[in-house]
Amino acid sequence: MTTNHGIGTETSGCGGDEQLPFDVFARNCPSRETLANVTGRWGSLTLGALHEDTLRFNELRRRVEGVSEKMLAQTLHALERDGLVHREAQPTNPPRVDYRLTALGREVTGRLMGLIALLEERMPEILAARGRYDTERGETR
Amino acid sequence: MTTNHGIGTETSGCGGDEQLPFDVFARNCPSRETLANVTGRWGSLTLGALHEDTLRFNELRRRVEGVSEKMLAQTLHALERDGLVHREAQPTNPPRVDYRLTALGREVTGRLMGLIALLEERMPEILAARGRYDTERGETR
DNA sequence: CAGTATCCGAACGGATACTG
DNA sequence: CAGTATCCGTTCGGATACTG
């Protein structure tokens, strides 16, 4: 797309009241926040885990290796708020809460996984590039 | 559970010496770092800017609205190290340095832009979900 | 089980000053 | 122009303890 993304424009009405399209390159566009939620450290892994299964809180904790309770809760809140994840609590005892992707969440996660798959596929090239960079530029660290 | 992504496995040999595929869900997989570089706050915007043009340092600074010198330099180093961006310095005076995407960088950026485009397209739904979430859950926080 | 609350160190990130 | 170095406040994020 060779259109102007408005990267350098200060006038970021960006989708709100105007008919301007949303634009992550615009400084105050809410899409920036969603992008961060989706691609953030735990957001992408959480979506990835839910891409395969409906999961409960502690199941997610076990599957997303390394995430803390705090971060998982925070991540799930953000994704739920953006309408990408659906939370369903059964009023049983002990409590049971299921998390699953919404329709929109599945679409977004699909593209996200596409990006991830490409990176994983090309990691050999990337590691080779790193090796070159690290030897050319001083190892002197 | 359909396919095991190894999310919960501690044994993350992950591509290194073994024949295991790279896996962002594995704790120590180097692909996690690359994913962070690509999707990070300034990484995605920098790649997006270079998707359209070869640019010099200060041109990039102006196009990626809001980035500081420090962050732009840091971001470019990381992307160059991963072999996604190529840096070419002319030994002139004053110095001139051009940044452009590598072939791999163009592929990665393509998918990244696909994700971004979807999010931008669906922002109305996302904002609606936010509105619902914020009113249902107490404003009383 | 499914979270919330708190503490605190580490990392992020902006502003400024300086170098080649 | 193209960066590096430094200072320093803000946020991130893990460990722990506690609630319903």
Q: Using CA atoms, how far apart are residues A76 and B122, in angstroms rounded to an integer?
A: 19
pLDDT value for A5? 41
For B122, the token pair is 């669906």
Predicted pLDDT at A136: 82
B41 vs A8, A36, A82: nearest CB: A36
Domain-by-domain residue ranges, chain A? 1-29, 40-137
pLDDT in tens, B7-59: 334 444 577 666 788 988 787 889 989 999 998 889 999 999 999 899 999 99
Angle formed at CA B24 by CA B119 and CA A22, multiple of 5 degrees: 10
Provide the pLDDT confidence category of residue A4 given band limits of 50, 70 and 90: very low
Nucleotides of D under 7 A from a protein CB: 1-6, 12-17, 20
pLDDT at residue B127 tops 70: yes
CA dist A31 and A76 (Å) reads 18
Q: Are the CB atoms for A49 and A63 separated by under 8 Å?
A: yes
Quote the pLDDT of residue B75. 95
Q: How far apart are CA A74 and CA A71, in angstroms?
A: 5
| Inter-chain touch A81–B134, beta carbons under 8 Å | yes
Tens digit of pLDDT for each residue in A84-116?
A: 999 999 989 889 999 999 999 999 999 999 999
- Top CATH class of B40-137 equals mainly alpha
Inform me whether the pLDDT recorded for A1 exceeds 70: no
C-beta atoms of B120 and A31 within 8 A: yes
Task: Give me the B residues in range 68-97 that sit within 7 A (CB) of strand C.
Answer: 68-71, 94-95
Query: Quick check: A137 CB within 7 A of strand C?
Result: no
Contact indicator for A126, B82 with CB cutoff of 8 Å? yes
Residues A125, B104: C-beta atoms closer than 8 Å: yes
Please tell me if residue A20 touches chain B, with a CB cutoff of 8 Å.
no
**What's residue A116's pLDDT?**
93
Kindly report the length of chain A: 141
Give the separation between CA A39 and CA A7, rounded to whole angstroms. Answer: 20
| Contact predicate B119/A105, CB 8 Å | no
